[in-house]
Amino acid sequence: MILELKLRKVGNSVGVILPKEALAHLNVEEGDSVTVTEGPEGSLRLSPHKAEVARQMEMVQDVMKRYRHTMRELAK
């Protein structure tokens, strides 16, 4: 699926209106949360928000931050 979406001013922000096809594909509706993550080559990925995945990602980020020097050494 390829959709071209327009950016629109919403108050002091800019928003994207998702057509019903995109909402159906994501299995979300008005009021649900979505997550935007970084993808390859500077792209962004939009997916339904899952509380358990968000909690796990916070834990991973905390460990990576606390052990950043160890991680850097292990990456060599």
Domain boundaries, the chain: 7-74
Q: What is the pLDDT of residues 35-73, one digit of tens each?
A: 898 989 999 999 897 767 767 878 888 988 999 899 888
Q: Write down the pLDDT at residue 58.
A: 84
DSSP assignment letter at 19: P
- The topology under which CATH files domain 7-74 is Pemi-like Protein 1; Chain: D (2.10.260)
Distance CA 10, CA 26 (A): 22
Is the full-model pTM beyond 0.85? Answer: no
Distance CA 69, CA 2 (A): 41
